[in-house]
Every structure is written in C-alpha cells, then in structure tokens.
A = this chain, B = another copy of it.
Amino acid sequence: MSKNLTTRAEDYSKWYNELVVKADLAENSAVRGCMVIKPYGYAIWEKMQAELDRMFKETGHQNAYFPLFVPKSLFEAEEKNAEGFAKECAVVTHYRLQTDPDNEGKLRVDPNAKLEEELVVRPTSEAIIWNTYKGWIQSYRDLPILVNQWANVVRWEMRTRLFLRTAEFLWQEGHTAHATKEEAIAETVQMNEVYAQFAENFMAIPVVQGVKTESERFAGAEDTYCIEALMQDGKALQAGTSHFLGQNFAEAFDVKFTNKEGKQDYVWATSWGVSTRLMGALIMTHSDDKGLVLPPNLAPYKVVIVPIYKNEEQFEAIKKVADQITSDLRELNISVKFDGRDTLRPGAKFAQHELQGVPLRIAIGPKDLENETVELARRDTFTKEIVALDRINVVVKDLLEEIQNSLFNKALDFRNSHITEVDTFDEFKAVLESKGGFISAHWDGTIETEQKIKDLTKATIRCIPLENKKEEGKCVFTGNLSTQRVLFAKAY
C-alpha cells in the first residue's frame, strides 16, 4: 500500500495532513480551500450526525432548511452584531454564464446578468433565519421555536487545513426563539451539555465546559458557552459552541411578540453549532503513527474479517465461517466488513485497516478452521488473542466497550496531566513552551491583559470553566486581584 506515515514526533502537522488523505477521509479539491469528504470519512460524519440528530430531537428540536444565500441588506441589519465575520465570504454578483464571444470554447460571466442586490453565501444563518422568524412569531403561543439546520456554510479562510479550517464546511446550526431570558439561557446551557455528552460518550473525547471571555465571544452573543478539547500536541481545540444571544437579533430584525401579560417584547434567542471540524478533533485525539484510531461508537464498521488462504477451497471454507460471525454480530448491532479482495495480500489489508482505524480485526486461516478459533486484534493497543468461535460474540462485544472506555480514559489521563496550575508569568511561558496543554492561571478580567498575553505567547483564554471553584488570587500577568482561574492554551 502506501508508505509509512510521517510520525507525530517528526512533524505533527504533516502527520495529520498525511493521515487524513491516506486513510481516505478527505482530500483537497480543485476549488481553493474546499475539501472533498471521501466515503470513508463521510461515513464517520454520518455516524456523528445520526447521534447528534437523535439527541437534538430528544430535547425537542425539529430540523428545517433555510436558503443558502443571504441578501447583502440582511447583513447590514445585523452588522453591529456580526461584525466579526460578515466580511470574508463568497459573494454572488451574477446569475448567468455564457460562451465568450471573444474567446472560442471559453465561458464568461454575462455582463448583462448582474444581480440588483448581491447575495452572500451563508457564513452562518442568523440573518436569514431571524428575518424568517419575524413572520412566524406574533404571540407567546408561537414560542418557543426549537429549530436546527444541517447545512453547508462558506467562510473565505485564507489558510485552510482539511476538516480543521476549510472555506466550505458542513455543520448544524440550532436557532431557537424564547419568550423569556431564563428559558433562552437554559437552552444555551442544555445544548452545550448535549455537545459535551456527545463528545465524551461517542467521540471518547473529554471536554471542559466553560464560557468564553468577551473578546472570544461570538459577535452578537451575550454569552458563549463552549466545549474545549485537548489534542495530542498540547494544543486546544474548540469543539462546539452554544450562544445566548439575548435580544440582539430580535432587535436587529424587529422580532417582537405579545407576552402573556399582553405586552410587546423582543424575543430571546440562542444559536449553537458543531461542524466537520469535529472530524479533526476525533483524528487528533486518538490516532497514532500507524494511522487513524476510531472509537467503536463512531466507526463505519467496528470489525473487519480478513481471510488467510492459499486456494479457492480454503477461501470458501473461511468465508462460510466469516458469514456466520457477521450475521451473529449484526444481531448484536455490531457492523462487520468481510475483506475478501483477491487483489491484496493479508499483510497489506492489515496495514490498510490499521491506517483506517477499524477497532477490531479478525483473521481466519486454515489452522483456525481446524481449531475452531479466530485471531482477534485490537487496533488501539495492537494486542492479539486467539478466541474460540463459540465465544466470539461475547468477546467482541466486551472488547468494543472496553476499547471505547479505554480511548476515553487514555485521552482523559492525557488531558488531566496537561492542565497545569501556574502562578507566575515565567512559569506560564515555561509550561506553554515545554509541555503545552491547558494552563490554569489567575487573570484580572480585562481585555487588555488577555490581549497582551496573547501577543506575547500566542495563548488565548479558552474558557472560564463552568465547574470553576472560586479562589482568591493575583493575575498571572498584572498581579491585580482575581477571583478565579481560567484556562489558557494555544489553540487550533
């Protein structure tokens, strides 16, 4: 197959880029900054979607679909809210291509087909959605609106990396409308909790729940909740955000309702989202120098069976056993793939399945047929064992659970051992340089200090953890009084 991956120790960034391509997850396309998500990568994303969608529906949300385009004038209405990212985006100015009269065989934009008003390809949908909600909401009876959208969005990023930062990406964006501030805040908190549960139980990624500082907040939000994860290279990755938008968007788009007391008031809003960026977090949390490592709960197939044979007769006998295992495991809701390709040797298949992170591999050879056994190999630990055929169901089921838990615990140990409390700025810089990770330090609460620390170290405040204990202290930079520690890190 392919040559070995660059190792993480050699070049973490290169390791990541190679892994994404070689494991058939995604690749760059002919369009600058836009990726092709390949079938194997998309199958993982589909698993994520299915779980998240189930969780959204269980918490009372419905899906809907809003237009890809946002008229420029709607951005003007929210500009004071969205100043942060209304700028770098794809703008549609024309609606026709035609053959170029001056250049045979070429196409050009028809100069007579200019739009009266330019359309922006949505970088996010607050504007178009709140402009729509205006028509849906008159009274408190119309509230709450609990809507989610699965969609593609475009932000004209200059430096892109597969999954982590792409011009076009896939995401879900929840947009809810409420009659009271309390209800909107409860929704914001709930959805952040949903993200945390998803990250931990399905992605096997431990996360810190927290709120952003003012300067890291979503433009237009009164509070941004987030889940922050830690990658193996000691950099943090923001894996999901949930925004309490106050009445900002309702005011910008004039969305009022009559409350129970018969008075007019602006509607309270939230929005929350996760994106294909999660794929990057998943890859960087668990994978190793042999390739992808997948938590079983998100693996496109959890088990692969590789036959080892010298002739057709052996192949058929092995296939018969494999079919039985497959159907038995499927009854337990465990997906299995039989790799019967006659174009690759077993060793090459092993390498490919390792590269693609299939959690368990079963190999069956002629001796196994005789002994009524199989060889079972774990992707995460590379340990192998010989298992009797009549025990395979139980063993596989237990092992998959163990792998899921083990990946989470390994990541949790790593994360916990990379949260360092520091009390001086020298220590701060030394830890950041030597081991990275989260640095828990006192901060005086000012934007100025935050900015200076960022300028000097590239570390930002990732969040103020929700489970913070209050603690008197002095700001690590200015020495001014502080009441709690916050988490700093360099971040993706």
Contact = CB atoms under 8 A, between A and B. Distances in A.
A128 B170 CA distance: 18
Given A29-B132, A89-B95, A96-B89, A67 B109 contact: no
B62 A42 contact: yes
A34 B69 contact: yes
Given A63-B46, A64-B42, A109-B93, A31 B119 contact: yes
Given A119-B90, A121-B92, A31 B107 contact: no
A95 B155 CA distance: 9
Contacts of A51: none
A36 B66 contact: yes
B70 A31 contact: yes
Report copies per complex: 2
B96 A91 contact: yes
B94 A91 contact: yes
A300 to B, nearest CB: 9
Instruction: Name, among A90, A93, A121, the residue most crowded by chain B CB atoms within 10 Å (CB to CB).
Output: A90
A43 B69 CA distance: 22
A152 interface: yes
A487 to B, nearest CB: 33
Interface of A, secondary structure class, is mixed
B63 A39 contact: yes
A340 to B, nearest CB: 14
A64 B91 contact: no
Contact of A87 (B63, B96, B106, B120): B96
A91 B86 contact: no
Contacts of A90: 69, 92, 94-95, 119
B118 A67 contact: no
A88 interface: yes
A118 B109 contact: yes
B67 A34 contact: yes
16 contacts: A29-B66, A31-B71, A36-B64, A36-B132, A42-B63, A45-B65, A65-B170, A72-B97, A72-B107, A89-B96, A90-B94, A90-B95, A91-B96, A91-B97, A96-B156, A141-B343
